Structure 1
Amino acid sequence: MKIAIHGRNFNESARPFIENMFNELKQRKIEVQLSKQFRVFLDQIGIQHYSELVYERPEELFDAKLIVSMGGDGTLLETVSHVGRRVIPAVGINTGRLGFLATVPPERIADMITALETNEFRVDERTLVAIESNLDLFDGLNFGLNDFTITKTDTSSMITVHTYLNHEFLNSYWADGLIVSTPTGSTGYSLSCGGPVLMPHSQNFIITPISPHNLNVRPLIVEDTAVIRLEVKSRSNNFLVSLDARSTIVDENTQLTVKKADFTAKLIKMKDDSFLNTLRSKLSWGLDMRN
């Protein structure tokens, strides 16, 4: 079996579990390819990884059965961008903080490896959001698992986002910005701006304004077959666009269309991994601080 691994730095408390993971992979003769970023970090902290195979660009990934993300949710978003249209299933080991996407704790790495070898897992397909523009905004990586966001670049004036839904005018959002979120991203930035939580396989997008000037403007759920066109006006004549962890500043002549990508992301989940359990745990639902 061949696997790829991408990661970031992690807390020292996770070190013994990571070391044990590489020992397990070596003993089971599993071929491993590391992202260059993660390989450099492992070498710096002196973890023996037993792998000479490295990829620096997504096209250098070998024919892996799956890819492991070692970090938090942000690392998993990066990992999905590495995979792209090859749709290699990804599994997230949570050495970060929140962990809505990266749900395997470090102490269960050995269980995860066994499950992967014996196919005792499920593959969860997630919708991606895609961006079309007259510019190459994200070096060809025009898709995201969580959300596409427009925000102002200065600290004073708001921007105006004229929004069209399936070629029909929807609204002019006078706000600090606007988020178009997938169901997966509903527990991310959109949630912090008052957006609803969607079940992962809901066939919808969420349009969420960021600090809107008109308080009667609220998040809107639309079908994911919708085509969303955005025109932005700003006093500074520019604005910031973000797609998951990637961002760039563009001028207000930039054309932007948001729609569902024509491929999905595949996330590996352990059989006892439940989205509802994750919601209760991460959002502390039902927790009474008085007790």
Structure 2
Amino acid sequence: MTTKWIATPKRTKEILDAHGFSFKKSLGQNFIIDANILNNIIQKAGIDKQTGAVEIGPGIGALTEQLAVHADKVTAYEIDQRLLSILKETLTPYDNIQIIHQDILEADVSDMVKSCFKPGQPIHLVANLPYYITTPILMKLLHDDLPVTSFTVMIQKEVAERMAAGPNSKRYGSLSIAVQYYTRAEVIMNVPKRVFMPPPNVDSSVLKLTRRESPPVQVIDEDFFFDIVQACFAQRRKTLRNNLIRHFKASADNQTISDGLKQARIDEKRRAESLTMEEFAFLANTFYRIIETGT
């Protein structure tokens, strides 16, 4: 590894000083200054010259540069206008990078993938996401059903653990179910604070989400399913029955809730964290029939 890479403390500081750049806390800017970490992420993401890469928040181009070296083409979304001229300079040696100045939450990523990459080309999203907005970004990307094979993202360690958590653990919740409905989730590495400039206040992990061809459970209505899951976790210490009574107070009486749980063959005294996704699906389908169709 040579010292030419952007992702070194010295080079990063030189770039920032040359442009008089100051970090914006509101944008969650923490730049990676270790190229070995980036290469490890890229390897685990499955990036090679046959694949396309999408990045969110390239900053001064540290990860973008490594993606350009390993991928066929890279498209990166950057919201901070101040970084555009820096990226144009730092990424000059590479002709396979496209920078889009847009908020990822407002972007039509699916349309971009279709227009910017080769038909049928495997596409991987790789990003060091702003920690304050990780969940909205990932949930938008998952709901949009993008033609993307996997998402490999650096995020807050606690959030990564929640997204990958299984039943009967304190991290397991509605977010775990939502993410794992669309993907297979795995925490692939933890990353120390010292590889960032400036160091974040929280610990970081890299989470890999591999898109499922189809959800692992069949539900009658997806929105209803996710509503039921959220309702069951609304107050973690309460039983399923109590949480569902609260959720359905306008449309079902207490006895209907008890009967529904019995019909779903789930003990009403259980708590949400003990249910598998399959049990949540059966529960949601049972209550959909009872509440929505009256059967």
TM-score by length of 1: 0.36
> Looking at CA atoms only, which structure, 1 or 2, has the larger radius of gyration?
2
Q: Which has the higher helix share?
A: 2
Query: Which gives a bigger RCO, structure 1 or 2 (Cα 8 Å, sep 6+)?
Result: 1
Q: Which has the higher strand share?
A: 1
